[in-house]
Structure 1
């Protein structure tokens, strides 16, 4: 009812005020991220002035900012039929082409928008620059090139400087971005976004106190400027993440500022989506579930709601609900899937596939089919977004500690698919470790040769990345000792035992004298003696060293006897 009422008022307003005034009101609403208000003003403008194509273009751009491309396209096409300013709508269609990856069509549309402009026209170049900056796959260099054309005509225009600041910021040119934002605010002191972006640059440099001070300066000018509270919220979150002693306090402060931001925008679906993203960062999953349910009431067909609902339901322990929501989301080919969608789906399936054991000493009874489905989704997560591998280390550990080695290995194998993972060394070690223990107690006929070769490779990865990790050598030797009747494996076993002895010896007497290492030295010498049994001199040398450590070791004495 309120929206209809506002639309009616806006329509009347367009009848009594100038076009320019209403467009400025709409632009201010867009700048304040009050998108529903802006849409109401612009829809009223189209009703009042159907021949003005620029109003349709601005409205289409609002829909673009809200990722509603079909609605945006509808208004751009409508705008092309207008008698005035129709050509601006080619710019909107051009950005849609950029979003779909059709750069040739985009350039054609941009050329259509500029072919009949006058010498001093700059607005088209500004919007083309913004299109390159705001596209799903931005091209900041082309944005800067188009904005530079506008700057050559009017170097002091605030909107040119603002758009240049955004393009330079996207291009990671902090110095030029800072200069452009500063120039924009100096040219137009009402352009609060430019002043706010100076704080955003400081936030990006992790100069959090200075960023807060910059944002406070914006609040002092206009305490009702909503976007600055979002920036304060994100600053406090990052500040807390950077200073663990303040994490709880600053995250709470960030959530408080985000609520302030929401209250000053229009609680549209777009602002709620951004709020949901912040709640994920802040790990406030109860609030996220509540927000997702509220979004469903606003728009029950928007698929992104399923993403947030799935994440929240998983974190809040409703694994069936999470599986349903995320399966519905990831199986829709129209949805833009990210790695974390598959990660949460896989984690929810793991939880369902692995019920808690009956007693603390017991093992979980695992649903193998669902477990493998979960692993496949975890692999999709890492394939889409390599850093997702960082989240799997603790998951693999849960299975390993229950001695569910085969299942632990499946998780670690996915984790090791990212060589740049922060846990790459650890994950490879435990992949090899798990595969070794899963096979070490089996009869030779039941051993999984493919798995043992994976274990060998995993331990090799460890020693390449960290040549002084001594236990990787001893376990690589043990893995290869299980690969019977394999000459290559036998040679690798001997080499790995010798490498273990070398690495520990190089660390000095204190390391060698540790009881755990002495036991492993005996194992290494015994196996080397057996490996070189045809070379009695060499074999005797190794078994003599073993007996020097443990003179009464029955296995060593038996090997010594066989060599005589």
Structure 2
């Protein structure tokens, strides 16, 4: 009897150890970003022992990480009925409340999860803190507060220190994050993510060489730890962006590391989507379109794939595919379109409406595209920065009216990095749209007034951009505002002369000074002949052969 009892206890202990190892195996797979493998392990645990609430919670978190909310909710709710670790599932449901901005509901569930915890226990607090960090709107300060309190009773928990490092990192506290990550790795040398995050901090500080060294230290410990290759890929992407002359070589290295990362994780639809996100960063839209088409073969119903295909097709000039794909994504009820989705859809519609020679755009297509572009800007005002290059392309094609429409968005967004450029081009586009009108055609006074105002903004932001005075003068000439025209021509000449005789003698600058003198003279011809003659003589001093000035003086005398 005693032998049988001992044997039964041994079997139970063995079964418990095997189960614990399975959960740990799943957690290791999650840490290694092998999510499909983790799901397989967790489902097998649940099938073998439906009473394991921890497995339900862990699986629900994997689905939540992959934005599959329906599946996550099912597992969390089923996990509440488990006899072991059931309360953890309140944390998963609490994060879903946070995602819906229901902070009160989330806090109530977190309280249920942490009820009756022992003083030294920290696991629930770590998961609650991660729920705050992983929510759609991360709350790092709440996470720090929770983890700091938990650390008072148990500061030697490696997972707590890792979570604290992540919370500090998210909150922009780099020094505190470094201390926490270092502590986590010292407490558990198998916790490679903590050591890897030390490199991430260096990458954030633009110490790319030092970051690479830190990642290689991780590889020296375990060359099969996939996430470190993703970090190396992103580091070389940053290097490429900071060293344009070596960009091609570094992009190639980055892609090589990313492919290594993929080989060590899984080639599931979700991992392919992560790769697609990286291809967008790399602006490799040819590869992105090929990847999107492969993903469609694997999963014909996943709407997110159509976002990638839409982006790639837009960039590659496949307008029909782009429009169809982006509309499929935006119109799918479960999707949450972002500004870029609408922006690219609008720009694609405009591109489709542009004639083969690039000299005209169908007004209906342009208006339809603008509707989507405005939706994008309403969602994200800084989306205007994407329009600057589009506006310049239209300007190059001499589609000045359409170009002005594109630049107007950025010209009215001071926070935009293209604010100055956009105002310069906005003013120029409105000017050229009117100066090139057929003789006798009425100018658009409102557009010209906007041009004048744009040049004023330019002079505030960049007082040394003297061309702005010149174009203000030209604009006011079209508006037949002689006083304003003269004032601006005078400012252009005076400020140019301040730069010295050498600058004023340059042929292009000299021609603009002559233009200024002649136009000021013409404005005074009917009101102050002596002043008009004075300006014409200034022209002749610079250009004795200037027939317009010479003939005008004869008439005025």
Asked if structure 2 preserves the Cα contact closer than 8 Å seen for 1:375 and 1:410, the reply is: no
2:463 paired with 1:467? yes
Give the CA deviation at 1:483.
Answer: 1.7
Instruction: Indicate the residue corresponding to 1:499 in structure 2.
Output: 491
2:259 paired with 1:270? no
Question: Which structure 2 residues correspond to residues 415-434 of structure 1 after superposition, within 5 A?
Answer: 415-434=410-429
Give the CA deviation at 1:299.
Answer: 2.5
Answer with 138-147 or 448-457: which moved more: 448-457
Instruction: Indicate the residue corresponding to 1:131 in structure 2.
Output: 131
Answer with 132-141 or 345-354: which moved more: 345-354
Question: Which structure 2 residues correspond to residues 100-499 of structure 1 after superposition, within 5 A?
Answer: 100-332=100-332, 334-357=334-357, 364-440=359-435, 441-443=437-439, 446-484=442-480, 489-499=481-491
Give the CA deviation at 1:24.
Answer: 1.1
| Separation in 2, partners of 1:379, 1:556 | 49
Answer with 102-111 or 414-423: which moved more: 414-423
| Separation in 1, partners of 2:316, 2:511 | 47
| Separation in 1, partners of 2:409, 2:263 | 43
Instruction: Indicate the residue corresponding to 1:6 in structure 2.
Output: none
| Separation in 1, partners of 2:546, 2:240 | 57
Instruction: Indicate the residue corresponding to 1:11 in structure 2.
Output: none
Q: Secondary structure at the match of 1:523?
A: helix
Q: Which structure 1 segments of 5+ residues have no match?
A: 1-13, 358-362
Asked if structure 1 preserves the Cα contact closer than 8 Å seen for 2:350 and 2:361, the reply is: no
Q: Figure out how many residues of one structure are paired with residues of the other and give that number.
A: 542
| Separation in 2, partners of 1:147, 1:473 | 59
| Separation in 2, partners of 1:549, 1:107 | 79
Instruction: Indicate the residue corresponding to 2:517 in structure 1.
Output: 525
Give the CA deviation at 1:443.
Answer: 4.8
* 1:545 pairs with one of 538, 542, 546: 538
Q: Secondary structure at the match of 2:414?
A: coil
Give the CA deviation at 1:377.
Answer: 3.4
Q: Deviations over 1:311-364 (max 9, x none)?
A: 22233332210111112223445422233323332333333222332xxxxx63
| Separation in 1, partners of 2:186, 2:16 | 33
Q: Deviations over 1:12-57 (max 9, x none)?
A: xx97854322211111111111111211222222223323322211
| Separation in 2, partners of 1:528, 1:28 | 78
Give the CA deviation at 1:477.
Answer: 1.2
Q: Give the TM-score taking structure 2 as reference length.
A: 0.90
| Separation in 1, partners of 2:507, 2:21 | 84
| Separation in 2, partners of 1:469, 1:239 | 33
Q: Deviations over 1:204-247 (max 9, x none)?
A: 22222222221122122222211111112212222222223332
Q: Secondary structure at the match of 1:446?
A: coil
Asked if structure 2 preserves the Cα contact closer than 8 Å seen for 1:133 and 1:140, the reply is: yes
Answer with 341-350 or 163-172: which moved more: 341-350
Q: Deviations over 1:405-440 (max 9, x none)?
A: 222222222343433444333332222222212112
| Separation in 1, partners of 2:552, 2:374 | 47
| Separation in 1, partners of 2:122, 2:17 | 25
Asked if structure 2 preserves the Cα contact closer than 8 Å seen for 1:110 and 1:128, the reply is: yes
